């Protein structure tokens, strides 16, 4: 690991000589890079797995068009996200210098201690993400950006990266607060993020994995699908990113039935195209003029058909969307 860290530090010094002034070094870069590099092959494998036991049928022309648009939106948001990540490095580093470091900083002196610290920090980050996610449904300003994520009607592994660039900005102060309260060495942080990335990254997977197989310990596509449901009884349930125990602790858990795979999206229906997705929070001002009242019609039916008995079809399509606007 030493030569890798040295190589990264050399590159960092070459392209950003003043990085040290902002508390950015090779170890911090490595801590964020390793989980990202692991995600790439995981996503490629997930796209293959999704064809084996899909929750939804994505073979229709409309579904394929919707998913193509999602991948384009995700590519755009990820590109902007890289730039925002660099800005966060600078801002967080400067804030750390002003504040004087985190309130709590823990290190481990043994292998067992390191493993325990990885689990503790993963739970800490997941708890913080739980509350950031929950606030995104409670506060209108945050929901205006987070609703872009919920506009997805065909859930796939790509939906996990369907985060609007504006949401990254408005949540940045909460992320800074999380890091300033409690930090660990970079290698512990990297392993904790890696531990979370598997269930977190696969929770939107279009693959039937019954939640009871993982219980309340690891998130599954069925558990998180409840959170994206159009059915009012599922609103504001199952917020957790990696560990459903958070929903159990804070009273937002909905344990799905074995065959409970509801339709997903927003009510009234909004399934943005590329430009509308980019300007999502500002689409009322910058987007095309809309005709009608915005209620769902027969012509705007869900594009993805569930591979479930017809009796499971949701009748919430005709209702209004009751999430906070």
pLDDT greater at residue 219 or residue 28: 219
Mean pLDDT on 85-105: 74
State residue 242's pLDDT score: 92
What tokens appear for 137 in the block?
Answer: 């449904």
pLDDT > 70: percent of the chain? 78
For 25-29, 151-155, 205-209, 227-231, which range has the lowest pLDDT when averaged over its residues?
25-29
**Residue 291 pLDDT > 60, yes or no?**
no
pLDDT at site 319: 34
pLDDT at 176: 80
Q: Which residue has the higher pLDDT, 74 or 91?
A: 74
Average pLDDT score, the chain: 79
Q: Percentage of residues in the chain with pLDDT exceeding 90?
A: 32
- The pLDDT assigned to 317 comes to 35
Q: What is the reported pLDDT for 104?
A: 84
Question: For 211-259, what is each residue's pLDDT tens digit?
Answer: 666 667 889 999 999 999 999 999 999 999 999 999 999 999 999 988 8
The set of residues, in sequence order, having a beta carbon less than 8 Å from that of 270 and lying 6+ positions away, is: 147, 151
Residue 19 confidence (pLDDT): 64
Task: Compute the average pLDDT of residues 20-31.
Answer: 66
- ∠ CA 152-153-155 to the nearest 5 degrees? 75
Beta strands in the chain (DSSP E): 56-57, 104-105, 182-183, 305-306
The b-or-e profile of 219-249 (16+ CB within 10 A means b, else e) is bbbbbbbbbbbbbeebbebbbbbbbbbbbee
When mean pLDDT is compared across 40-44, 157-161, 179-183, 232-236, the lowest value belongs to: 40-44
Phi/psi for 16 (5° steps) reads -145, 80
What would the mean pLDDT of 45-49 be, rounded to a whole number? 81
Banded model confidence at residue 316, pLDDT cuts 50, 70, 90: very low
Residue 298's pLDDT band (boundaries 50, 70, 90)? very low
pLDDT band at 134 (very low <50, low <70, confident <90, very high): very high
Question: Band of the pLDDT at 36, cuts 50, 70, 90?
Answer: low
Q: What is the mean pLDDT of residues 44-67?
A: 84
Q: 268 and 63 in contact (C-beta within 8 Å)? A: no
* More confident call, 135 vs 62: 135
């Amino acid at each position: 690991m030493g030569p890798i860290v040295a190589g990264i530090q050399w590159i960092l010094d070459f392209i950003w000589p003043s990085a040290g002034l902002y508390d950015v070094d090779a170890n911090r870069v490595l801590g964020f890079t390793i989980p990202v590099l692991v995600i790439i092959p995981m996503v490629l494998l997930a796209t293959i797995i999704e064809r084996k036991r899909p929750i939804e049928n994505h073979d229709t022309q409309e579904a394929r068009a919707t998913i193509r648009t999602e991948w384009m939106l995700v590519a755009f948001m990820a590109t902007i996200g890289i730039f925002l990540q660099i800005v966060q490095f600078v801002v967080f580093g400067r804030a750390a210098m002003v504040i004087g470091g985190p309130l709590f900083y823990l290190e481990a002196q043994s292998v067992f201690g390191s493993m325990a610290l990885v689990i503790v920090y993963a739970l800490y980050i997941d708890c913080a993400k739980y509350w950031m996610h929950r606030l995104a449904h409670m506060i209108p300003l945050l929901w205006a950006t987070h609703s872009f994520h919920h506009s997805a009607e065909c859930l796939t592994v790509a939906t996990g990266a369907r985060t609007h660039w504006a949401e990254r900005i408005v949540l940045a102060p909460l992320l800074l607060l999380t890091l300033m309260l409690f930090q660990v060495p970079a290698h512990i942080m990297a392993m904790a993020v890696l531990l979370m990335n598997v269930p977190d990254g696969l929770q939107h997977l279009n693959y039937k994995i019954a939640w009871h197989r993982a219980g309340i310990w690891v998130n599954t596509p069925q558990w998180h699908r409840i959170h994206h449901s159009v059915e009012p009884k599922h609103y504001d349930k199952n917020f957790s990113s990696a560990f459903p125990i958070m929903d159990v602790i804070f009273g937002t858990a909905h344990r799905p039935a074995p065959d409970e795979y509801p339709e997903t999206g927003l009510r009234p229906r909004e399934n943005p195209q590329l430009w509308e997705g980019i300007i999502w929070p500002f689409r009322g001002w910058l987007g095309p003029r809309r005709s009608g009242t915005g209620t769902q019609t027969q012509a705007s039916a869900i594009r993805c058909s569930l591979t479930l008995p017809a009796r499971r079809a949701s009748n919430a399509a005709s209702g209004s969307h009751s999430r906070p606007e």
